[in-house]
A = this chain, B = another copy of it.
Amino acid sequence: MDKEYVKELTNIEEDFAQWYTDIVLKAELADYTDTKGCIAIKPYGYAIWENIQKYTDDLFKKAGVKNVYFPILIPESLLQKEKDHVEGFAPEVAMVTEAGGEPLEEKLVVRPTSETMFSTLYSKWISSWRDLPVVYNQWCNVLRWEKETRPFLRSREFLWQEGHTIHATEKEARERTIQMLEIYAQVVEDLLAIPVLKGEKTPSEKFAGAENTYTIETLMHDGRALQSGTSHYFGQNFTKPFNIKFQNKEGKEEYGYQTSWGISTRLLGGVIMAHGDDRGLKLPPKVAPIQIVIVPVAAHKEGVVEKATELKNELEEKFRVELDLRDNYSTGYKFNYWELRGVPVRIEIGPRDIENEQCVVVRRDTLEKQVVKLDELSKKIEELLKEIQKHMYDECVERVKRKTTTATNMEEFEKNLKENQGYVKAMWCGDEACEDKIKELTGAKSRCIPFEQEHISDKCVCCGKPATTMVYWGRQY
């Protein structure tokens, strides 16, 4: 039975895209629905999102962020107030055109993002420097009518948080932009055990209406990059058309300085693709809904279920534990079942273990087994979970190293990308035409202009003209 179960999962190296879909469905993270392009997030997937939310929201609250909830429907005329913004989002919005059995006088956009709604309300509420800064966030659903969709990665509806702030000075707004990016980096690195690359998007990759867009990029198993969180500085691009003015300390009227920032359920796709392997999902202990699964061996023997239950009760005080007492599955089937679901630690306990006051502890990340004395179990597990979290992070760091190359000309660029997948570091002149050409030749886009710059050569990798910055390039999700 075991083998079959694993066999059902597509080989990760053979067909990564199908492997991904397999994991989503078989680990019961989500399922397709009758609403095309929209998924149902199932309990196991949603529990991961809840852990991300909790961790992030705690950091937000420490950073002075206040949660709110604003309408999902936005009058079409509001969306049109900022030129770049409407150009960017109009092609992918869903529209409510009738309600209560009647056609609406003005169409209502289902929010693809809420800059326009927040800006409209801010213009009403803000009048003095004393009202600033305003640092509001909402956890909500948004809709973007994508042509091609994939569970978590590109879904027509997804869950996210969107923070929107107004500040009295450019300096403060810029600082907030970076502060929130740093929080996202912490969420992804510390909670999800995925190292991030921090930097600024090139102008062509900016958010519609932003002055600057900052990003954290992560590298997946197959070497493609995933944009995992973004933070935008708007300057006065929205505060002017939306008339968000305040009286400064000198008594003069001024337009506010604005930011916005978001992470989404896309991160679940990141967790799957950064850590998974041929046996299935691999969850970092900190974010895993179930950190430990206890599988009794020869459960029909006297005392086994009792002892397993006792262990569960003990461990539950400190960890998130599941005890698998199902009587219609073999032990081997259960091992595979929980490996597929990426539970970080498995405990096996049978009659002989009980006799010897011990149990078998198996790590999901390395599949290493060890025998642990029961009176040391809780302490041992605590150490082990930390070790797994760290090891999973380190493995991803290794991958980034392995899959990052440098190039000084396009031949090298193409060769490296082909051989390594992953990131190519190369100099850029700042011209969008070179980005376009690189995209055309290699399929790679600029990921970001990293905060940590390196000097690789003097010339643009594409056109050979003098370079202004070093850019990370790569194929993306």
Q: Is the CB of B108 within 8 A of A35?
A: yes
- Stretch from A94-102, A181-189, A399-407 at the B interface: A94-102
- Stretch from A62-70, A167-175, A200-208, A458-466 at the B interface: A62-70
Q: How far is A46 from B161 in the complex, measured between Cα atoms in Å?
A: 15
Which of B40, B69, B147 touches A46 (beta carbons < 8 Å)?
B69
Known: A35-B73, A75-B35. A99 touches B108 (CB 8 A): no
Chain B residue, CB-CB nearest to A100 = B145
- Stretch from A117-125, A372-380, A418-426 at the B interface: A117-125
Which of B47, B67, B140 touches A47 (beta carbons < 8 Å)?
B67
Nearest Cβ distance between residue A317 and chain B, in whole angstroms?
16
Chain B residue, CB-CB nearest to A92 = B100
Instruction: Check: A290 CB closer than 8 A to any chain B CB.
Output: no
Q: Is the CB of A141 within 8 A of B72?
A: yes
Nearest Cβ distance between residue A47 and chain B, in whole angstroms?
7
Q: Is the CB of B117 within 8 A of A33?
A: yes
Q: Is the CB of A120 within 8 A of B69?
A: no
Chain B residue, CB-CB nearest to A158 = B69
Which of B42, B95, B125, B130 touches A68 (beta carbons < 8 Å)?
B42
Q: Which residues from 52 to 83 on chain A have a C-beta closer than 8 Å to any C-beta of chain B?
A: 66-75, 78
Q: How far is A393 from B156 in the complex, measured between Cα atoms in Å?
A: 45
Q: Is the CB of B97 within 8 A of A98?
A: yes
Q: Is the CB of A95 within 8 A of B98?
A: yes
Chain B residue, CB-CB nearest to A120 = B34
Nearest Cβ distance between residue A104 and chain B, in whole angstroms?
9
Instruction: Check: A366 CB closer than 8 A to any chain B CB.
Output: no
Nearest Cβ distance between residue A427 and chain B, in whole angstroms?
38
Q: Is the CB of A31 within 8 A of B124?
A: yes
Which of B33, B67, B75, B100 touches A91 (beta carbons < 8 Å)?
B100
Q: How far is A141 from B110 in the complex, measured between Cα atoms in Å?
A: 12
Instruction: Check: A41 CB closer than 8 A to any chain B CB.
Output: yes
Known: A117-B33, A130-B328. A159 touches B99 (CB 8 A): no
Central interface residue in A39, A71, A121, A136, by most chain B CB within 10 Å: A71
Q: Is the CB of A43 within 8 A of B67?
A: yes
Q: How far is A328 from B41 in the complex, measured between Cα atoms in Å?
A: 49
Chain B residue, CB-CB nearest to A135 = B43
Q: How far is A73 from B39 in the complex, measured between Cα atoms in Å?
A: 11
Chain B residue, CB-CB nearest to A121 = B40
Q: Write out the residue numbers on chain B whose beta carbons fall within 8 Å of the beta carbon of A278.
A: none
Q: Write out the residue numbers on chain B whose beta carbons fall within 8 Å of the beta carbon of A124.
A: 31
Instruction: Check: A429 CB closer than 8 A to any chain B CB.
Output: no
Q: Write out the residue numbers on chain B whose beta carbons fall within 8 Å of the beta carbon of A101.
A: 90-91
Chain B residue, CB-CB nearest to A44 = B66
Taking Cβ atoms with an 8 Å cutoff, the residues of A that contact B are: 31, 33-35, 38-43, 46-47, 49-50, 66-75, 78, 90-101, 108, 110, 117, 120-121, 124-125, 130, 136, 140-141, 143, 145, 147, 157, 159, 328
Extra 5 A-B pairs, beta carbons < 8 Å, given A33-B121, A41-B69, A141-B141? A33-B70, A41-B70, A46-B66, A46-B67, A46-B69
